[in-house]
Structure 1
């Protein structure tokens, strides 16, 4: 006879209870795990960043998938107002008319969340002699209105006194569906009108390709699209100081063409984020999510700004 039989027999009910508790805990954990598909419509500038966040989200929560339609920032307000998405990334702030359209449709304002910083860099061919431009010169190159204080239109490289450069300047930029198109018009053209000579491209990669292939070309793209084939120009302020398009000047607000990147959320007042939405924003506004921002060529938020965005959404201040 097993001398331990009685002891083992006495423990079996406890073992059963323990097993039952473990099973219940397992099912509860599965029930608490967010599951669903997040449809996201908006910025193509942020497409790579959103996709990487989506991959990381699925690694954390295998039951969540992110589906992205990167048609340009202008598509986000339309989709949010129509109710075809609850999440819209934009490389510019929503306009007043876009905000009004959303509120007229839903009866409450759209929720704006800043998720990263970026900047527009003015680019030329990598072997170009030009190193910097003033804002009024950029305006005189790209616009017909010259609202930033420039004199005559700058149509040829010799007007800038660039050694060894002569010829007509080839203008490259984004199309009107892009947030970069509108932002550059506001910041670099002082709200003026683009020159009809502007070659409008559907994506930033096409702008970079055009400038890489021609020494007469100039264009503008976000920092994350810079390649060895192009040179990003410094921008001179009114006192002659040069500001380079780099992370710290952008974060500190010193670079003139800096911008915030946003994720707009359709979140009714008093309503909590869905499980998948909360998981996504918890990731984005975390050290891991902000490291991804830097790795993708954008500028991460400061810790103070990050904490403020988390508080805005009611997220746990203890970052994952």
Structure 2
């Protein structure tokens, strides 16, 4: 007759059963389910133009440079949100959260502390600047980081025969005043409008450079999108469609050449966008609070400005800020001295521009000084191989316009001379060769520039 179970027997059986249950659970469910949750080390909010492709690619590159391994990207809690995860040397899992719901959301997140970096496809607005004033100067060289140059592409169906439009025509189209393709010299009947949403820096840029400058507003019937890529896909599928996206999202659509004021029609090519001559070129930014202590935020900003970061900018369809020499075709309508330059020298893929209302270089230009110096040293062009050409907007006295344009070139000369450059020539061409209309301040600012040419 079997003996009764003792308390010790019951304890042994209980432990055995617990071990069997644990074994079953570990077999049925991966151990990762029970692993510690990843630590969020950085939060980025803002532009969909940056957040869709460029932002995640830069974060992955930065993580690699920081020594993280097994880096992967997973969807976030909402559409247009992602998490980038990696493991550090101790095996701890860390993540960067990236939300891409529009440039304005990035500045709101800086204010309420829900992000350490704001990604923006436009400069900070005056109201946002004032709203964040308690954190310091968000327009300082440290806080405002230009990480790439982009072109706002005006796209249409690939079969549409139209090739070029002016910014005035664009404004009339998107305001709903021009309603058919035939009115533009094309064909296809009624025009269907596709636009980004109100939170988007892409929309802000289009609104500022096209609609507002012509005194117009977006037509109420335009279809709105949070995503560049989804808008591009919709236009590509609609023979009557027209829309605007960032350069990296042209995809299967076809981009139109654009003219502004007296400028020639320009396609959104990498060279014309790099120099910001293309009428709808724009800068892409990361904004960081002055005094921000998050080491990951500072590491990402530094990585984005470096050679590896700028290589990623190019690989993701945007225009990097690396300096290159470009051969410019001499044209009969160029001023004689400029035509001579085009025939015998090459233009660098950078324009120096200035802060609004003064002769001080803007934040991008201050960083470009070092990029140009590095290029000149690497190519042995420090001694009398460089020509600076200044440009400006019209003045009542043409001689004054020429003088002001030369003074801008002299401001660049001062910075390059500090780096050991002995220039061949410094000249000013006044209001010649405009790249934008002089009828609005934005256009006049774009025309106030300094080009760098090398022999």
Which TM-score applies when normalising by structure 1? Answer: 0.76
Q: Take 1:166 and 1:297, find their aligned partners in 2: how far apart are those partners? A: 30
Matched, 1:70 2:100: yes
Matched, 1:224 2:244: no
Decide whether the 8 Å contact of 1:285 with 1:309 is kept in 2: no
SS of aligned partner of 2:49: coil
Task: Choose the corresponding residue for 1:196, options 220, 227, 251.
Answer: 220
1:140-159 equivalences under 5 Å are 140-143=172-175, 153-159=177-183
Gaps of at least 5 residues in structure 1 are: 1-34, 145-152, 313-320
Q: Take 2:312 and 2:135, find their aligned partners in 1: how far apart are those partners? A: 35
Q: State the match for 2:233 in structure 1.
A: 209
Shift of 1:166: 3.5
Decide whether the 8 Å contact of 1:36 with 1:276 is kept in 2: no
SS of aligned partner of 2:60: helix
Task: Choose the corresponding residue for 1:132, options 121, 143, 164.
Answer: 164
SS of aligned partner of 1:188: helix
Shift of 1:237: 3.7
Q: State the match for 1:28 in structure 2.
A: none
Q: Take 1:195 and 1:306, find their aligned partners in 2: how far apart are those partners? A: 34
Matched, 1:114 2:146: yes
1:241-252 equivalences under 5 Å are 241-252=264-275
Q: State the match for 2:316 in structure 1.
A: 296
Deviations 1:120-155 (A, max 9, x none): 1100100110011011100110126xxxxxxxx211
Q: Take 1:281 and 1:112, find their aligned partners in 2: how far apart are those partners? A: 10
Q: Note closer, same or farther for the CA distance 1:36–1:157 as it changes in structure 2 (3 Å cut).
A: closer
Q: Note closer, same or farther for the CA distance 1:137–1:277 as it changes in structure 2 (3 Å cut).
A: same
Decide whether the 8 Å contact of 1:54 with 1:65 is kept in 2: no
Q: Take 2:162 and 2:303, find their aligned partners in 1: how far apart are those partners? A: 41
**Coordinate RMSD, CA, aligned:** 2.3
Q: State the match for 2:404 in structure 1.
A: none
Q: Take 1:239 and 1:96, find their aligned partners in 2: how far apart are those partners? A: 29
Q: State the match for 1:27 in structure 2.
A: none
Which TM-score applies when normalising by structure 2? Answer: 0.54
Q: Take 2:223 and 2:58, find their aligned partners in 1: how far apart are those partners? A: 32
Decide whether the 8 Å contact of 1:285 with 1:310 is kept in 2: no
Q: State the match for 1:14 in structure 2.
A: none
Q: State the match for 2:114 in structure 1.
A: 84
1:1-320 equivalences under 5 Å are 37-47=41-51, 48-61=53-66, 62=68, 63=88, 65-103=95-133, 106-110=134-138, 111-143=143-175, 153-162=177-186, 165-191=187-213, 192-227=216-251, 229-239=252-262, 241-268=264-291, 273-303=293-323, 308-309=366-367
Q: Take 1:257 and 1:290, find their aligned partners in 2: how far apart are those partners? A: 21
Q: Take 2:296 and 2:165, find their aligned partners in 1: how far apart are those partners? A: 45
Q: Take 1:45 and 1:265, find their aligned partners in 2: how far apart are those partners? A: 18
Shift of 1:284: 0.6
Q: State the match for 2:415 in structure 1.
A: none
Q: Note closer, same or farther for the CA distance 1:254–1:126 as it changes in structure 2 (3 Å cut).
A: same
SS of aligned partner of 2:103: coil
Q: Which has the larger radius of gyration?
A: 2
Gaps of at least 5 residues in structure 2 are: 1-38, 69-87, 89-93, 324-349, 351-362, 371-455
Deviations 1:35-62 (A, max 9, x none): 9711111111101111111111221212
Q: Note closer, same or farther for the CA distance 1:281–1:231 as it changes in structure 2 (3 Å cut).
A: same
Q: Relative contact order (alpha carbons < 8 A, sep ≥ 6): 1 or 2 greater?
A: 1
